[in-house]
Structures are given as C-alpha cells and as structure tokens.
Structure 1
Amino acid sequence: MAPSFAARTYRDDAVVLRTHKLGEADRIITLLTKHHGQVRAVAKGVRRTSSRFGARLEPFMVADLQLISGRSLDIVTQAVAKGAYGGAIAADYGRYTVAAAMTETAEKLTDVDGESGTAQYNLLVGALASLSRSDHAPELILDSYLLRALSTGGWAPSFTDCARCGAAGPHNAFSAPLGGMVCPDCRPPGSPAPAVETVLLLGALLTGNWATADASATVHRREAAGLVAGYLQWHLERVLKSLKHVERT
C-alpha cells in the first residue's frame, strides 16, 4: 500500500541552489537541505504574481520548507524565509557571480556525496550570509568556501607539511593531484612554485584567518585563486561553468 499523504510530508531548512521553468507557472527547484541532502522539487504556481512564496524560492535564499515526497520530484507546499540573501547578492554583479560559483560547487559536491549534506549546508549558508553582508572581498569569500567545501567533501589540502609523504614544511611546490604543497622529493615535474605569501593566504582561507586574508595583496590573491580553481577542477573532475564569470580585482 502506498504511504499516506501525511507520511510523505516533511519539513527541512534548505538553500536554493538553482531553478528552472516548468510549464507556464511552475518551477523546478534544486535545493540543498539541512537533513535530507540535495533535493529536487516542484514549486507550483510560483511564477504567478499572486504566488504566496515565489520570492522565497529564488537562488541563494534560505527557507524553512514543507515538502511532499514524490516519485521523481518532491513538491514544495510551504516556504518561510529564514535568510533573505538573494536580494543583496543579486544587486551586485560581483557578489552574484561568486554566489553562483558557490551554489554550483555545492550542487556538484552533494550530488556525489550525500553524507556530508548537513556540513555542506551549514558551510554554504554561512558563506552566502557573509557575502550578502560584504564582510570580506567576494573573491576571498569564494576561495575560502571552495577550500572548505572540498575539505568537507574529503579532499582537504595541505599547505604546510608535504601532502604526499608528510615531511614537515613549509615547502615551495604545489600539486593538485597530490593534495597541496609537496616537498622536493615528491614534487612532480612542472609543479608550480607559488610565492610564500600566496601559500600563507591559502592557509588563512582554509582556516578562516580573515585578518591575514584581508591584508593580502592582489597579486597573491590572483595566484591563490588559480591554484584553488585547479584544485577544485582536479577533484571534481569537471570545470565549473560559473567560475569563469567571477570578477577578480
């Protein structure tokens, strides 16, 4: 016997990763929920001007949702705003492109690793909140988020000891396939040798040392961004479409 309507109903906090149109008035919403991992759901009638909760289901918004489990797609029946970050982020192109890169990363990571869903949810919501408040430069928030999201997903980089053999650092070569900074004995041919300041910045972004990150120079931010992008691409085994639109100062 099929489960009852009540048995199929559940509530959860969720951040909206992506939306696309369905029919004349509906949307399919890709969500990262706090307790149910990544969920794809239909929001009926949200594109109508009379919709009660359409604005709460825009990208980068955080809401308390009531949903009904379906065969292929769940259905959103209620939405109560918890973090209205979308407006402030969408009003600035730089913040918007950063948020798009973060939500695309979260979607890729939780699509293959549902077990870290709660940790990835908390990490993304914190990053979107910080971005909406302009706590730090958008590109620093992005690179910090990417490093932490990869770490949460099981790919924590090392910026001190050798990522391959564990030899005490600091070291002066970086290898994405090996997991971070590597010693001279483990260094693959052609590995980049980032500036000392860049390595310190990467470590600060990973650990949340914002005093060091905020004081970093533009040249080191750009070098760090390139290494983070390469590390992300290697471990996700794909290129993030939204990352190329991010503005770098």
Structure 2
Amino acid sequence: MPLYRDEAIVLRTHKLGEADRIITMLTRQHGRVRAVARGVRRTTSKFGSRLEPFTHVDLQLAEGRNLDTITQAETLSPFHAGIGLDYDRYTAGTVMLETADRLVAEEGEPALQQFLLLVGGLRVLAAGDRPPHQVLDSFLLRSLAVAGYAPSFDACARCGSLPHEGAAHRWFNPSLGGTLCATCRVPGSASPAPDTLALLGALLAGDWPVVEAAEQRTQREASGLVSAYLHWHLERGLRSLAYVER
C-alpha cells in the first residue's frame, strides 16, 4: 500500500472492534482525514497517548480502500498537557476542535489555513497567557472567515455603506452577515452597544490591546453574538459549546 506523511491535530476518536480506534484529524496537506489506529487501545500499543484529541502529531499513513491506516506517530506538541487539566481551557479547546471538524466538511480537501489557525489557537490556549473565552471567540470568528463566512462589523453587510464619522451601525443580524445600517435593518436584529461591535472587530483582527481593555459586560455580549453567528452558519449547534462558561 502507498505510504504518505503529514502532520495533524487529532480532533476526535471512537472505538473500532476490540482494540482499534478510528482517528479523525485535521492535517496540514490533506485536510480532514479519518484513519484507523490498529491496536491503539491495548496497553502495549506503541502509539500510547499520541493519538488523543488536542495532540499535534507527525504521522505516516498507508492508503486504504475505505480508511487509511496509521503506521507511525510522533508527537510534535502535546497541547492536551496544558489544556486537559483546566476546565475553561478544556471546554474552549473542545469547541475549537468540533468547529474545525464541522467547517472542513470534505475529506481529503486541503485546508491549510484552517489547520494553521487551529494549531495557533491551541498553542495560545495551552500557554494560558490569555483568557480562554477570548481565545475561543477570536478563533471562531477567524475560522468562520477562512471558511467564507467573514462577518462585517463596520460596513453594512447588506448595502456596504460605512457609518458616519464618529458613529457606528447599530444593528446586527447573523443571517445577513453582520452589522446593518438603519435602512437595511430587518426585524429580529440585535442592537449591540458600539463597544461590543468594536470588540468583535478586534477579536477578528487579533487586536489584543483592544480586547484586553474591554469590560466584562462588553465581552459577554460579544460572546453571545459570536455564538449566534456560529450557530447560524453551521446550521445546527455545537454540542461542546453548551459546556463553555459564556
């Protein structure tokens, strides 16, 4: 069987037979891949904990008819060591993994930007230098943008008009792509505070000084809008998001 190498982030696993597991991964070159790890559930397995969620690994795989088979696995970054023992980091990280799994729908399709974004997000999350909810919200907005669902927090998402100097569009609607001007506003649109829209733009752009200066009330409102925007574009909610303290 032909062999190939790639690096990957393990997204999830599930049991197969008595000793095997199917590993779902986001890889650097081959997008989302599902592969079999033979005998990985045995105590004598040479893979051990290398194929657990959050692990950044270098793999060798053998191509198969239905599923590829993992033949070698070397740990590059054990992100689970810095994430798994902290509830807030763990739940935020789990949402990041599930989001990547959902946004990269086609197996084998390259998704380099999503892969690099996930590796970077998990690295920051594991380091513990920033609050988990800020890392998560920034990751979700950027991941949606990479997938083609970039929200607008400045110009009107419907007509493209910019707000008048010193002001900001006051309406937000996930189904229409972000902020709306007074003319394009539709029933059911939210009316977030101007500081909240500024925070959302900073999270998308990675402007951390603005993010860090935001009040808790503003951060909570921004997190709610990020969740609403994510749910709309994924068409169904993420199971893991229910466990995140928002």
Cα distance in 2 between the residues matched to 1:9 and 1:213: 45
Q: Which stretch shows the higher mean deviation, 83-92 or 108-117?
A: 108-117
Q: Which stretch shows the higher mean deviation, 221-230 or 104-113?
A: 104-113
Correspondence 1:47 to 2:45 = no
Question: Which residue of the partner structure matches residue 199 of structure 1?
Answer: 197
Structure-2 change in CA distance of 1:181 and 1:115 (3 Å): farther
Question: Which residue of the partner structure matches residue 89 of structure 1?
Answer: 83
Cα distance in 1 between the residues matched to 2:91 and 2:53: 12
Correspondence 1:226 to 2:232 = no
Alignment-mate amino acid for residue 43 of structure 1: A
User: Deviations for 1:173-204, whole angstroms, at most 9, x for unmatched residues?
Assistant: 00111110110011111211101111111001
Correspondence 1:28 to 2:50 = no
Correspondence 1:239 to 2:237 = yes
Cα distance in 1 between the residues matched to 2:154 and 2:34: 40
Identity across matched positions, percent: 55
8 Å contact from structure 1 (residues 98, 142) kept in 2: yes
Cα distance in 2 between the residues matched to 1:18 and 1:134: 22
Query: Where in structure 2 are the equivalents of 1:55-204 lying within 5 Å?
Result: 55-112=49-106, 115=109, 117-169=111-163, 170-204=168-202
Alignment-mate amino acid for residue 211 of structure 1: P
TM-score (structure 1 length as normaliser): 0.94
Question: Which residue of the partner structure matches residue 9 of structure 2?
Answer: 15
Alignment-mate amino acid for residue 103 of structure 2: L
Correspondence 1:211 to 2:209 = yes
8 Å contact from structure 1 (residues 56, 79) kept in 2: yes
TM-score (structure 2 length as normaliser): 0.95
Cα distance in 2 between the residues matched to 1:153 and 1:115: 13
Cα distance in 2 between the residues matched to 1:220 and 1:21: 42
Alignment-mate amino acid for residue 48 of structure 1: R
Cα distance in 1 between the residues matched to 2:194 and 2:105: 35
Alignment-mate amino acid for residue 235 of structure 1: H
Cα distance in 2 between the residues matched to 1:17 and 1:54: 16
Runs of 4+ in structure 1 off by over 3 angstroms are: 112-116
User: Deviations for 1:19-41, whole angstroms, at most 9, x for unmatched residues?
Assistant: 11122221110000000010001
Structure 2, unaligned stretches of length 5 or more? Answer: none
Cα distance in 2 between the residues matched to 1:238 and 1:87: 30
- What is the SS of the residue equivalent to 2:153? coil
8 Å contact from structure 1 (residues 113, 153) kept in 2: no
Aligned length: 242
8 Å contact from structure 2 (residues 171, 180) kept in 1: yes
